Every structure is written in C-alpha cells, then in structure tokens.
Amino acid sequence: MIDYYLRLLELPRRVEGVSVLNDDGSFDIYINSLLPPRRRLEVLEHELAHIRQEHFYLDMPISLIERQAEGEHVNVVLHPPEGLIPCFSSEAALERWLRNLCAQQHLDLETLYL
C-alpha cells in the first residue's frame, strides 16, 4: 500500500496540483486551495494517476507523463534514469513494468528466466 498525504495549499493560479515523492516512499499531494471543490477532486485524481502509473520512477518527458495521466495511451520505453534502480509499490506493479518492457522489446515474458 502506498501512503500519501493530501495537502490543500494556496498555489500560484496556474499550478493546480503537484505530487512529491518522499524519501520514505510516501507521497505529498498538494492541491491548489484557490480551485473550486469539483476541480480539486479532478486534480486529485490526476495526481493519483501519476502515482498509480509510477511516473516518479520513469525517465519520460513531462509532456508524455501529463498526457498519460490524463488517460491517453503513450507508448514509451520504460527504463529508469541512468544510475537509478526502479522501485515498485507491489509485485503487481513490478509485473506490469516487466510486461510493458517485454512488449516494447518484442520478448515473451513467459519464456524469460528471472
């Protein structure tokens, strides 16, 4: 289970929300208090999508990350930044990552010895 802490904070008007990965693996999610309540919920769902899709562990352009968090299918190579080891919130998350990586490399995960 991933821990996250939701914080309502007055941010610049153009910043609706932001998530921050903490050293202990938890997340702080900041939502702009200037937004109307319905928009706050939409922004929260967007920020949770970043966490669910493990964007904090991928080396992807921000524009692609944002498009993916909005629900668009984005086909990218899932390699962590050089020098970093990917971290997964669960075995299921690791399995999804491996399946995506194998699909991109045209490999059959079932035949690999891990």
pLDDT at position 13 is 87
Beta strands 17-21 and 27-32: pairing type? antiparallel
- The whole-number pLDDT of residue 40 equals 95
Do 101 and 78 touch, CB atoms closer than 8 A? yes
- Cβ contact 12:37 at 8 Å: no
Residue-level pLDDT at 10: 93
Pairwise CA distance, residues 50 & 57, whole Å? 10
Cβ atoms within 10 A of the Cβ of 105, count? 8
Q: Tell me what the mean pLDDT of segment 86-93 comes to.
A: 69
Residue 32's pLDDT band (boundaries 50, 70, 90)?
very high
- Domain positions in the chain: 1-52, 58-114
C-alpha 48/C-alpha 30 separation (Å) is 11
Give the pLDDT of residue 104: 65
Distance separating alpha carbons of residues 95 and 107, to the nearest angstrom: 14
Q: What is the pTM of this model?
A: 0.58
Give the total residue count for the chain. Answer: 114
